[in-house]
């Protein structure tokens, strides 16, 4: 059974990383009508280049058009849909019934995936969307494994679920906090993630006096969901009839995309190759914990997570590695890699090299050569290009992480 691994592509660089590190498909947003306005997103030219690159590697591209549209949006949407179709996108991810109807009339051959923003939580709703011609449903994150199985039994369309990444405290964006506090509408792609802020209690007649409601002395996290991670539950999800495993993170770094995609690729391939003898490799858990993340949870997979789904600890983000560089080129004659700096690194640093389609390795930085050909002690400047010798060949898009 072919199971799709679907990765986020916040910009062209992340798209290429997702493809090279093992994604079967990527999802991205253009400059309009998507629910990640803060991501880099794609111009028309970048969309064409991204589709061409992905298709050249046998990878599909899905474009988000999943806002809840207002009347003014409908006036310009047809031209944008034509841009997506002309670029060669393999499907559009949509949540608004009016937009779905518009696509079916203007581009009946363009497959429609129903966004998680539509909050499909039962088989009757899934059946309704199936009759309307939707090819795939991205199920709500708030479903348990038995509920997913019941939906699978009732419909023939494809089912996609999130297996990794950030969770929303509301039903996938149906939240007024951001709009109320900042004027930025979560349902039009501009969520300020107000639920991640630190809060205190103020009594009406005592302005300026803040009473802590936190569980520790660093602040309150009562609205902060943990991050979803289902890496250990691949067998159950495959048996439940899931067609696509989706990774959240269009606003995350290229390091996050590469690291998470690689781990899920290895785990999924290992299970599909030999389901009867499959065992979970603890190294996958170690690797998935190296990228910046909140404490992990399995979400609603076994029912309501209760307090285990929320973050109550002092430090929200965890990481054991710092992303310091991205390999842009490698000279086999000199053994030097052209590295684009992402965080400061220096002589003597021990770095771990994450490579697409191969084994990671570690080594010490023994030399750094700047663009003028001079040996320097460190690479302190953002996106500075330097050359670094490596003990072995490193491919483009290899990632350097300081231990």
What CATH number has the domain bearing residue 279?
3.20.20.70
Are 284 and 364 part of one and the same domain? no
Are 121 and 160 part of one and the same domain? yes
In a domain, 364, yes or no: yes
Q: Of 309, 339, 364, which marks where a domain is finished?
A: 309
Are 9 and 82 part of one and the same domain? yes
Are 104 and 59 part of one and the same domain? yes
Q: Tell me the percentage of the chain whose pLDDT exceeds 90.
A: 69
What is the mean pLDDT of the segment spanning 143-154?
96
In a domain, 396, yes or no: yes
Are 371 and 243 part of one and the same domain? no
Residue span of the structural domain in which 326 resides: 322-402
Are 155 and 86 part of one and the same domain? yes
In a domain, 168, yes or no: yes
Query: Given this model, what pLDDT does residue 220 score?
Result: 46
In a domain, 244, yes or no: yes
Q: Which of 120, 121, 103, 123 lies closest to 112 in space, CA to CA?
A: 103
Is residue 171 scored above 80 in pLDDT? no
What is the mean pLDDT of the segment spanning 99-110?
96
Q: Of 309, 332, 365, which marks where a domain is finished?
A: 309
Instruction: Give tens-digit pLDDT for 32-53.
Output: 776 555 556 899 999 999 999 9
Are 149 and 250 part of one and the same domain? yes
Instruction: Give tens-digit pLDDT for 295-325.
Output: 888 888 988 765 555 555 555 667 789 999 9
- Per-residue pLDDT band at 341 (split at 50, 70, 90): very high
Please give the mean pLDDT across all residues of the chain: 89
Q: Of 309, 333, 364, which marks where a domain is finished?
A: 309
Task: For residue 393, give Cα distances in angstroms to 332, 359, 386, 390.
Answer: 7, 12, 16, 7
Are 21 and 63 part of one and the same domain? yes
In a domain, 208, yes or no: no
Are 294 and 327 part of one and the same domain? no
Is residue 347 scored above 80 in pLDDT? yes
Q: How far apart are CA 314 and CA 217, in angstroms?
A: 8
Are 392 and 246 part of one and the same domain? no
In a domain, 394, yes or no: yes
In a domain, 207, yes or no: no
Are 168 and 236 part of one and the same domain? yes
At 359, which CATH number?
Answer: 2.40.30.10
Q: Mean pLDDT check: name the lowest of 19-33, 71-85, 86-100, 162-176.
A: 162-176
Are 287 and 348 part of one and the same domain? no
In a domain, 211, yes or no: no
Count how many domains the chain has.
2
Query: Given this model, what pLDDT does residue 137 score?
Result: 98
């Amino acid at each position: 059974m072919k199971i799709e691994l679907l990765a986020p592509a916040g910009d062209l660089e992340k798209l290429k990383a997702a493809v090279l590190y093992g994604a079967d498909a990527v999802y991205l947003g253009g400059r309009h009508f998507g629910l990640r306005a803060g991501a880099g997103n794609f111009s028309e030219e970048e969309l064409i280049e991204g589709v061409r690159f992905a298709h050249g590697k046998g990878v599909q591209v899905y474009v988000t058009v999943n806002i809840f549209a207002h009347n003014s949006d409908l006036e310009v949407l047809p031209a944008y849909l034509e841009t997506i179709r002309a670029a060669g996108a393999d499907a559009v991810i949509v949540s608004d019934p009016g937009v779905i109807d518009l696509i079916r009339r203007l581009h009946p051959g363009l497959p429609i995936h129903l966004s998680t923003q539509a909050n499909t939580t039962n088989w009757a709703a899934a059946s309704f969307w199936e009759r309307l011609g939707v090819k795939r449903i991205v199920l709500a994150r708030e479903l348990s494994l038995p509920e997913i199985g019941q939906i699978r039994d009732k419909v023939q369309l494809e089912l996609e679920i999130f297996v990794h990444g950030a969770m929303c405290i509301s039903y996938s964006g149906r939240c007024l906090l951001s709009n109320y506090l900042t004027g930025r509408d979560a349902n039009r792609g501009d969520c300020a993630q107000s639920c991640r802020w630190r809060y205190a209690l103020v009594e009406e007649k005592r302005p300026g006096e803040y009473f802590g409601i936190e569980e520790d002395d660093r602040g309150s996290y009562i609205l902060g969901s943990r991050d979803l991670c289902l890496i250990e539950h691949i067998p159950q999800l495959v048996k439940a009839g899931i067609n696509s495993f989706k990774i959240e993170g269009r606003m995350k770094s290229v390091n996050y995309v590469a690291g998470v995609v690689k781990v899920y690729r290895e785990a999924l391939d290992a299970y599909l190759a030999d389901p009867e003898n499959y065992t979970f490799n603890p190294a996958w858990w170690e690797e998935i914990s190296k990228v910046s993340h909140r404490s992990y949870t399995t979400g609603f997979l076994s029912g309501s997570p209760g307090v285990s789904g929320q973050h109550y600890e002092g430090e929200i983000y965890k990481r054991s590695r710092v992303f310091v560089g991205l390999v842009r080129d490698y000279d086999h004659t000199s053994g030097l890699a052209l590295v684009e700096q992402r965080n400061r690194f220096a002589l003597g640093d021990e770095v771990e090299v994450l490579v697409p389609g191969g084994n990671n390795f570690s080594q010490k930085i023994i030399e750094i050569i700047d663009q003028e050909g001079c040996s320097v002690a460190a690479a302190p400047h953002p996106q500075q290009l330097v050359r670094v010798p490596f003990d072995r060949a490193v491919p483009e898009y290899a990632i350097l992480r300081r231990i």
